[in-house]
Amino acid sequence: MTEGEEAGVRFEVTHVLDAIERHVTTDATMAQATVDLGEIAWFDDLDGGRAVNLLRLGLLVDALSRHLGEDSVMIYPVAGRDLLSDQDLTSKERMVLGRWAGDGLIEVLPAVGDRVVEIDDLTGLPVVSRDGYPGWESRYPWLRTQTDRLLRLVPAEGGARIVGGVPGPPKPDGPGATLLARIWRCPRRDCPTLGEHRLESQAVPGIRSGVPVCPRHDEPLVNVGPRAPAIVFAVLVDGVVRTRFALRAGRSVVVGRSPDDPDGVRIGPWLAGEAASMVSRNHVRLELRDDMLLVSDMSTNGTVVRSRNSPFTAADEVHLGGGPPYPLKPWDSIELHQGVVVARADRNLARSVGGPGSVMGDAPTIALRPPPVAR
């Protein structure tokens, strides 16, 4: 490799790590699956390359994107301290991991143990793993029965693929519902996982002898009060989920091509052709007020609500053109233009298969060695 080529590889790896970073979160509301980050980074059978490689998380992101038909999958990674100090990581990888840990994008604990399964036990999120969790069935009996919550990552042509079912949305009445209905704070106020700045987008508390504890510091948490409910929405363009956002009580969110509000959901980058000119910069405003979910049309060309009482009934079309806020039912979807849909992510989304992009860029061909087709 020439010096120029090496510099190109370094640039590409940085670019890929940035792309992966957009898919990691420890926000319990936004996460869609959990993973033991070390298990994936040390999974050298995926590409037959170095013993440890952080880019393997990108293979997981791509595999889960294809599995779910989404461009916006969010992973909740848990890492033991041994991964962060692994001398076989490049200095760039160690720096990025340290930053993710400090920013609370990944959860770091002294040892991972059963933490990934505990998160799944409390939230109902699926876990992506290499081998499943043999030996933990007596503590978590659902590991035996609810196999749709256990996804396996296996080597495949070009990287990796997920084996397992497509998990349904987490049940709001799961065992952790009471726990997650409150705001918890770590006694160490600067804790990246559950500190003072994490009161809204909060990680999942741990449980020791029935007491909520900080998974990072193992200290009992402070009960700050009830948590405002939140609903997660997905934006689908031509059947592919392009982005997700949380709507929290007492706060409104504008969705459009390029909303004036910096906290709005900007969908312009995914629009093409007629949709790019028909969707307004500020198209709809959503709000959650007194348990009512309201949508207001702010657009030039109007908005259609496809209203249905269940996933099995035919939809009625309701045309919104300005006017007062319209109350949405749980199965309703909002069409900004044909093929551009906003719908609750905790309901079955009418997805098409295929279409999502890749976070890996050209990385598999340079920094990871994809396995040969047959081995």
Closest to Zn ion by CB, 116 vs 271, is 116
The three-point CA angle 211-216-222 to 5° equals 45
The three-point CA angle 125-131-136 to 5° equals 65
Residue 205: CB minimum distance to Zn ion, A: 10
Closest to Zn ion by CB, 44 vs 219, is 219
Closest to Zn ion by CB, 216 vs 283, is 216
Residue 215: CB minimum distance to Zn ion, A: 8
Residue 208: CB minimum distance to Zn ion, A: 13
Window contacting Zn ion (CB under 5 A); options: 10-18, 163-171, 214-222, 285-293 = 214-222
Q: Is 115 in the site for Zn ion (CB under 5 A)?
A: no
Q: Is 185 in the site for Zn ion (CB under 5 A)?
A: no
Long-range contacts of the stretch 209-217 (C-beta < 8 A, 24+): 212/179, 212/184, 214/186, 214/187, 214/188, 215/107, 215/109, 215/115, 216/107, 216/108, 216/109, 216/186, 216/191, 216/192, 217/186, 217/187, 217/188, 217/191
Residue 35: CB minimum distance to Zn ion, A: 21
Closest to Zn ion by CB, 215 vs 356, is 215
Residue 193: CB minimum distance to Zn ion, A: 5
Closest to Zn ion by CB, 216 vs 244, is 216
Window contacting Zn ion (CB under 5 A); options: 123-131, 183-191, 248-256, 315-323 = 183-191
Number of residues that bind Zn ion (CB under 5 A): 6
Residue 237: CB minimum distance to Zn ion, A: 39
Q: Is 216 in the site for Zn ion (CB under 5 A)?
A: yes
Closest to Zn ion by CB, 38 vs 205, is 205
Q: Which of 13, 33, 74, 191 binds Zn ion (CB under 5 A)?
A: 191
Q: Report the length, in residues, of the chain.
A: 375
Structure tokens at 92: 């760039």
Closest of 25, 50, 44, 46 to residue 35, by C-alpha: 25
Q: Which of 79, 186, 240, 368 binds Zn ion (CB under 5 A)?
A: 186
Looking at 240-281, list the stretches that DSSP marks H as alpha helix, in order from N- to C-terminal side. Answer: 273-278
Window contacting Zn ion (CB under 5 A); options: 206-214, 246-254, 266-274, 292-300 = 206-214
Q: What residue type is 185 in one-letter code?
A: R
Angle between helices 56-68 and 3-21 (to 10 degrees): 50
Q: Is 108 in the site for Zn ion (CB under 5 A)?
A: no
Closest of 239, 238, 179 to residue 206, by C-alpha: 179
Residue 114: CB minimum distance to Zn ion, A: 19
Closest to Zn ion by CB, 71 vs 118, is 118
Tell me the C-alpha distance between 104 and 26, whole Å. 7
Cα of first residue to Cα of last residue in the chain, in angstroms, is 27
Tell me the C-alpha distance between 252 and 297, whole Å. 13
Q: Is 217 in the site for Zn ion (CB under 5 A)?
A: yes
Residues paired with residue 346 on neighbouring β-strands, in sequence order: none
Residue 221: CB minimum distance to Zn ion, A: 8
Closest of 254, 253, 263 to residue 282, by C-alpha: 254
Q: Is 60 in the site for Zn ion (CB under 5 A)?
A: no
Instruction: Report the interface residues with Zn ion, using CB under 5 A.
Output: 186, 188, 191, 214, 216-217
